[in-house]
Structure 1
Amino acid sequence: MTIAASCSVLRATTNISGSPTIVDGDTVQIGQTKIRLQGIDAPETDQLCLDADGKRWACGVAARDRLAEYSAGRQWECDLGDHDRYGRSLGACFIEGEDVARWMVRQGWALSYVKYSHSYDTDQIVARDARSGVWQGTFIAPWDWRHRNKQTEILGAASVPVNAQSILLGAVSAAAAPDPKCVVKGNINRKGERIFHSPGQLNYSKINMNKGLGERWFCTETEAEAAGWRKAAH
């Protein structure tokens, strides 16, 4: 999930409930309402991490899958407030009274989004000390990963593998998808528009995913749309 540019203080004005579709580790959809979980930031689905053994790992996909497993078709109750730049509602969501965002951070599948909130800082310390989720290995904070360069800070394990930087920085423009199920191609055209192509579309095979111009892999069209990309006409 490309993240919201602004996660302002939540003003609960709308309540919504239902069993959601899990878009990624911090974005879900209930009915027609896309919801960005307030106060946390999970790895993008095409983001790579290194696991406890220093091996390449599609941690963004793992974060999404863990949230889906935790949800398991259960009812969510969400308090919604402001919208982000992509039209998603910013919300606090609960399953049987448990704060979903808190669970994600405490399990190590998301980070406390400290630029906008410190609500989950303590939960992050618990996950870090237990080396849970992404903390088991080496990774880049999602907000840094989206704007990464060779000076980007690497987090996680005390001992960082010598090849960590090249793997962690190179994920977005990797020629191959980070996961065989994530084959929707997102590229930026000459006008700066963010367009995605799905398998079967006319120009799908022509899209070069290794140009280093902000290409993105997505697992579903819903995920791409939630991140602010639009589908190609053909």
Structure 2
Amino acid sequence: MKQRVMMVALFAVITSPVCAAKLSGPARILDGNTIEIEQSKLRLSGIEAPETDQICLDAHGRKWACGIAARDELIKHSNGRTWDCHITGGDEYGRSRGSCFIEGEDVNAWMVRSGWALSSGPYVIYEVVASKTCAGLWSGAFIAPWDWRRRNKGTIIIGASSVPIDARELLLGSALLSDPPSPECVIKGTLGSNGDRIYHLRGQLSYEQIDMTKPGERWLCS
């Protein structure tokens, strides 16, 4: 019995948050919820930022590259400072997952509170605050990041109370992604017959012929 108690106590120490893996250093911001520290990629857990090719509507109903904006706002907030990340697991893409802090501030919470990401976990209260103050994405109309990746005619549009009446047409229309969302995101990504992602760069023979309004096609920044 005594040996059993000691084994349970040892397991508790090994699996305690204090002993969880940590990653620290300056971060390279890849998108609104993915960073890289010392060549290790980490996905901020509990939040969903817009994709880099995602388009939203502003308070006046105009289209803007909200995915790029979310990434750039995180870059500005980071400002070259040291990140301290607590790794809690991994994902299907080989990235670590966890919560990160800059000088003691919870970055995951900051992204949601500032309106640049939605909560997919414990940050719902910050999402409520962002929506009430029309911060970031909430200043206009947008599609939840998890819906953007597989959007269709039935996709729900969310955002400010003054969402324009033509928001659905603007965000779900076939012409939405005919042009790149940003001058820096001009790589065309298509799916091959075997499911592989194929990258097409400007200047290649097939580049101009690719129809980016087809399902599965993505504008990529790198």
TM-score range, shorter chain: 0.7 to 0.9
Deviates more, 1:157-166 or 1:128-137: 157-166
Gaps of 5+ in 1: 1-9, 221-234
Pick aligned residue for 1:153 from 149, 156, 160: 156
Identity %, equivalent residues? 51
Pick aligned residue for 1:137 from 136, 140, 153: 140
Pick aligned residue for 1:23 from 7, 14, 30: 30
Instruction: Return the offset for 1:207.
Output: 5.7
- Would the aligned equivalents of 2:36 and 2:42 in 1 still touch at CA under 8 Å? yes
How many residues align? The count is: 206
SS in 2 for 1:34: strand
Counterpart Cα distance in 2 of 1:86 and 1:66: 24
| Larger-gyration structure (1/2) | 2
- Would the aligned equivalents of 1:108 and 1:127 in 2 still touch at CA under 8 Å? yes
Q: Which structure is richer in relative contact order (CA contacts within 8 A, separation 6 or more)?
A: 1
Render the CA deviation track for 1:59-107: whole Å, top value 9, x for unaligned. 1110000000000110000111221111111011000000101000000
> In the alignment, is residue 89 of structure 1 matched against residue 96 of structure 2?
yes
SS in 1 for 2:73: helix
Pick aligned residue for 1:210 from 197, 209, 212: 212
SS in 2 for 1:160: coil
Counterpart Cα distance in 2 of 1:16 and 1:181: 29
- Would the aligned equivalents of 2:177 and 2:213 in 1 still touch at CA under 8 Å? no
1:12–1:26 Cα change, 3 Å? farther
Identify the residue that residue 219 of structure 1 maps to in structure 2. 221
Identify the residue that residue 107 of structure 2 maps to in structure 1. 100
Counterpart Cα distance in 2 of 1:68 and 1:204: 34
> In the alignment, is residue 71 of structure 1 matched against residue 78 of structure 2?
yes
Greater helix share, structure number: 2
- Would the aligned equivalents of 1:171 and 1:178 in 2 still touch at CA under 8 Å? no
RMSD: 2.1
After the TM superposition, which residues 41-80 of structure 1 pair with which residues of structure 2 at under 5 Å, given as runs? 41-80=48-87
1:34–1:68 Cα change, 3 Å? same
Q: Which runs of 4+ in 1 moved over 6 A?
A: none
Counterpart Cα distance in 1 of 2:174 and 2:123: 27
Identify the residue that residue 169 of structure 1 maps to in structure 2. 172
- TM-score between the two structures when normalised by the length of structure 1: 0.82
Instruction: Return the offset for 1:11.
Output: 10
Counterpart Cα distance in 1 of 2:184 and 2:19: 36
One-letter identity of the residue aligned with 2:192:
N
Counterpart Cα distance in 2 of 1:207 and 1:12: 53
Gaps of 5+ in 2: 1-16
